[in-house]
Structures are given as structure tokens and as C-alpha cells.
A = this chain, B = another copy of it.
């Protein structure tokens, strides 16, 4: 039992990971299998994850993240990717929608999805990135639930990572999420200021 509000308040982008602490395979699985309860458009789940765990893969990834040392120090870094064409009618994931909505409604939904996302490269990117953002957030809070600290990394060579890890042209590298345990010999900065309700919400 862990309180959601406390998890929100305690989750911080952790820059320093304890190199001596691994993440158990079971823990990583638990994190992902909880996080994937996130919603996505038409339940298409257009995401795939590369879990960078080996020393070799970390060494390939690190220079593509501008040599941020946490890539080498943390036990796992997740490469969160999304399929820009994940809404196309032939995608396997439509079967999860069809299982409930039936064949006819699913045909309609496929056409609708195409009208929403299929008309330009910008719309495809929108589809991929917004859905992967939902998953990314879901992963970071889920990690904290299992006692694992995280750090989202956007300062990366998106296209370089795609090529280095042999991902196809339709796959967008969205962000990295480094996972591990905070190195308690280090100190975290105070949390950066967030804009509050009155500063970001307009009521109409």
C-alpha cells in the first residue's frame, strides 16, 4: 500500500544512481505491467520499449545521450518508442479494440483514426508522441511505487538512437527513462517550481 499523492510528491528526476544496486527482473516486469494500464487512442498502445541493461548497450546509448553519466551508472535505461503509423488499419493492435466493439464498429473506427492521424506527417507524430507520453508518465509513477527512482531524458539524439538500435523509419524515439536507486551519498536539488492552477487553467 503506497499513497498516490506521496508518490507524486516523492518522485523526482534523480541524476545520481547507486551503481551497486541492480533492478530485479521481476521488479522491472512489475513496473511495466502496471504502467501499461495507461490508456491510448483506440487502445492501440502504439509503444515499444527497449530496456538497455547490458554494458555494451549502455556504451552504445551513452554518447547518443550527450554522454550523460547516469546512462552508465543506472542499472536500466528504457528507450520509449512509438509507431507513427500505429493507427493504420492493418495493425495487429486493432484486434484488442475489435474484441469488444465488433467487426463493423472497428471498420468505422479505423477510418476515423485515419482521418484523425493519417493526413499528414505532423498528425502521425502527434499520435505517436502524445500516446507515448501517457505511457512514460505511467512508468515513472509505477517505478516509484516499486521503490525505483527514475529520470526522464529528452536531451538525446532521437534519430541517432533510432539508427543505432536498428529501429525502422516509422518508429519515433520519444524519450529515455533511466531507472535505478538514488545514490544517497549525493544530494538532490530542491524541486523546480511548477505553475499552479491559476497560472495555467482558463475556465470557460
Q: Which of A's residues lie within 8 Å of B, judged by CB?
A: 1-5, 7-9, 11, 13, 28-29, 32-39, 41-43, 45, 47-54, 57, 93, 96-97, 99-100, 112, 116, 121-122, 125-126, 129-138, 140-142, 144-145, 152, 154-156, 158, 165, 172, 174-175, 189-197, 200-204
Contact = CB atoms under 8 A, between A and B. Distances in A.
Contact of A43 (B165, B172, B192): B192
Given A3-B2, A32-B200, A201-B32, A154 B116 contact: yes
Contacts of A8: 34-35, 37, 138, 142
A201 to B, nearest CB: 5
B53 A203 contact: yes
A192 B131 contact: no
9 contacts: A1-B1, A4-B4, A5-B34, A36-B195, A37-B191, A41-B154, A49-B200, A126-B129, A133-B134
Number of copies of this chain that the complex holds = 2
Contacts of A13: 39
A4 B1 CA distance: 8
Given A125-B125, A129-B130, 14 more contacts: A4-B142, A33-B196, A48-B202, A50-B201, A51-B202, A51-B204, A96-B192, A116-B155, A116-B156, A122-B122, A130-B133, A131-B133, A132-B133, A134-B134
